[in-house]
Chain A
Amino acid sequence: MDQVEKTLNQNRLVLFPADQLQPGERKLVKVDQIEIAVMNVDENIYAIRNECPHQGISMIYGSISGTMVTSKPQEYQYGMENELIKCPLHGWEFDLKTGRSVFSPNQVSLHIYDVRKEDENIVLYLRRSPEKVIVQDFSCNHK
């Protein structure tokens, strides 16, 4: 319910047709001064601020993977497959759904945006009304 109300207060921005963002693909969306990375991961669409909260590195180059989830001493357990993006520099891990960091979820987060697939379009919801929007293709040599 919260999300619906919040959404109603936001500006709806149709970015591009959904078929232009296939699984594994990413696009860079520049909304005024802000850069947003929009990505399709296994048919889930995510939008994140293209700036790591640590040293400002472009997150769009980040690998998407799982990680070793918190476990007991001397035990390993892999999980969260394809639910995390890692900063391409220092490797800080963030949950793509919530933006929260894995190492300190309540203190450190990556800013995320409300993005949806609606009527075969990728739609971004923003608090502010954007003046200028540029969409750029992006590719990198890793997942």
Chain B
Amino acid sequence: MGTFVKEKKSNEINEMNAVSLIDCDVHPYLSSLEELVPYLDEAYQKQLNIGKFRNEMLKNQNNGSFTFPMGRYGNPGHVLRMDAITPSGGIPGSDPKFLTQDLFDRYNTTYGILNIGHGTMGAYHNVNLAAAYTSAANDWLYDKWVESDKRFKMTMEVVPLDPQLSVKEIERIGRKPGIAGINLRVVNIPFGKRHFWPIYEIAEEYGLPILVHPDAENTAEYAPDQAIGPASSYIEWHTTLPIIAMRQISSLVFEGVFEKFPKLKFAFIEYGFAWLPHLMWRMDKNWKGLRQEVPWLKLPPSEYIRRNIRLGTQPIEEPYKPNHLLELIQMVNAEDMLLFCSDYPHWDGDNLKRLFLRFPEELKKKIYFENALETFKF
């Protein structure tokens, strides 16, 4: 190991000092599943092939042993940013102290919301195992990260295939200080379905928003399909992720979730937002002629979206003329919907210093922290 040079430019620090910032997408990483051993009883350690049950002999053989459900699409470069490797050579996002220095200190971040980055078992076929892993991962995240620095808040994961277990998990830890929301992973059941309503009921009661973030999209047996069939490449997969958000928002609105749970907020993170005008306009137009299928909607669909849906800014869309992004937000009155996300340490994260340069100060404040304060539980 040599000496690391990681100097912050002085003007970068000064510019940010005046701004309160809530970063709604920061990713902590497990270095290894072994970190979860203290949080799992032996039955689940054995099934996960960790702790004293660890056995590597047939691990690389077909059906040889437990394999964590990883994404099938490999990034051709680096899926984690190469300037975020920890000083000891560890995986970016695996060292809480280094993350606070490398991200929070640099941008004067007030709070960073931790959304597990190393993966989920949300779409995994063995729901009991997925539930045990999920609880263990929640406790690991709370103990190692949230308790280490007051700037860390976290979303807790639940078990999308089992709403009853999800409710129990929310009852177990959902009121702990530092739990800012519920991370609901996508599966092949649309979010509007009554299957999920028990989760929404307790989420609304506890004042916790639902956060949705890509991960389960291509990892396991219950992952949603990709509309026309599997993508051939990472670029095709990543580019078309917003389709999932568009589809979920339509389901939520048309099924009446926001009539049933009017205070419930959904934050779609890392799905972009430039598609919003299309979605709002198409839904409103269809509602005028087809509303009898969804007679429980009392407002145009776009008004539920504006009231109950929030969207992360990252990965920021880059129009040919930068001003068009501001115009697009103004076009659909989306000012109160946007949440700043760095996505650190992912490869497609955004550098705050270079974003929103031409945005009015009032809008910047909304994006930097006001909208997040209205969305998450702090």
- Selected from B2, B76, B82, B354, the residue in CB contact (under 8 A) with A88 is B82
* A61-B82 in contact (CB<8A): yes
Inside 8 A of A138's CB, which chain B residues have their CB?
2-5
Taking each of B3, B81, B89, which has the highest tally of chain A beta carbons within 10 Å of its own beta carbon?
A: B81
* B2-A55 in contact (CB<8A): no
Main secondary structure of the interface of B (DSSP, over half): loop
- Selected from B2, B85, B349, the residue in CB contact (under 8 A) with A137 is B2
| A142 to B78 alpha-carbon distance, docked (Å) | 11
Inside 8 A of B76's CB, which chain A residues have their CB?
68
Taking each of B3, B76, B83, B348, which has the highest tally of chain A beta carbons within 10 Å of its own beta carbon?
A: B83
| A140 to B348 alpha-carbon distance, docked (Å) | 20
Inside 8 A of B360's CB, which chain A residues have their CB?
none
Report if A139-B354 is in contact (Cβ < 8 Å); known contacts: A62-B82, A89-B349, A91-B347: no
* B351-A139 in contact (CB<8A): no
* A142-B3 in contact (CB<8A): no
The count of chain A contact residues (Cβ–Cβ below 8 Å) is: 23
- Selected from A28, A57, A90, A142, the residue in CB contact (under 8 A) with B348 is A90
CB distance from B126 to the nearest CB of A (A): 35
Q: Does B77 contact A (CB under 8 A)?
A: yes
Within 8 A of B (CB), among A49-69: 54-58, 60-63, 68
Inside 8 A of B77's CB, which chain A residues have their CB?
63, 86, 91
Inside 8 A of B354's CB, which chain A residues have their CB?
54-56
| A34 to B77 alpha-carbon distance, docked (Å) | 28
Inside 8 A of B348's CB, which chain A residues have their CB?
90
The 0/1 profile, CB within 8 Å of A marked 1, for residues 34-70 of chain B is: 0000000000000000000000000000000000000
Report if A88-B353 is in contact (Cβ < 8 Å); known contacts: A138-B5, A141-B89: no
Q: Does A136 contact B (CB under 8 A)?
A: yes
* A140-B351 in contact (CB<8A): no
- Selected from A54, A91, A139, the residue in CB contact (under 8 A) with B3 is A139
Inside 8 A of A91's CB, which chain B residues have their CB?
77-78, 347
Chain A residue with the shortest CB-CB distance to B350 = A55
CB distance from A105 to the nearest CB of B (A): 18
Inside 8 A of B227's CB, which chain A residues have their CB?
none
The 0/1 profile, CB within 8 Å of B marked 1, for residues 128-142 of chain A is: 000000001111111
- Selected from A54, A57, A86, A140, the residue in CB contact (under 8 A) with B85 is A140
Inside 8 A of B351's CB, which chain A residues have their CB?
55-57, 89
| A138 to B1 alpha-carbon distance, docked (Å) | 10
Taking each of A61, A89, A141, A142, which has the highest tally of chain B beta carbons within 10 Å of its own beta carbon?
A: A89
| A141 to B4 alpha-carbon distance, docked (Å) | 10
Within 8 A of A (CB), among B324-365: 347-351, 353-354
The 0/1 profile, CB within 8 Å of A marked 1, for residues 1-28 of chain B is: 1111100000000000000000000000
Chain B residue with the shortest CB-CB distance to A27 = B5
CB distance from B176 to the nearest CB of A (A): 33
Report if A90-B82 is in contact (Cβ < 8 Å); known contacts: A137-B3, A141-B89: no
Chain B residue with the shortest CB-CB distance to A89 = B81
| A86 to B347 alpha-carbon distance, docked (Å) | 12
| A137 to B7 alpha-carbon distance, docked (Å) | 12
| A68 to B354 alpha-carbon distance, docked (Å) | 29
| A104 to B15 alpha-carbon distance, docked (Å) | 31
CB distance from A61 to the nearest CB of B (A): 4
CB distance from A87 to the nearest CB of B (A): 9
The 0/1 profile, CB within 8 Å of A marked 1, for residues 68-103 of chain B is: 000000001110011101000100000000000000
Which A residues have a C-beta under 8 Å from some C-beta of B? 28, 54-58, 60-63, 68, 86, 88-91, 136-142
16 further interface pairs, Cβ-Cβ under 8 Å (given A63-B78, A139-B4): A54-B354, A55-B354, A57-B351, A60-B5, A61-B82, A62-B82, A68-B76, A86-B77, A86-B78, A88-B78, A88-B83, A89-B347, A89-B349, A138-B2, A139-B2, A140-B83
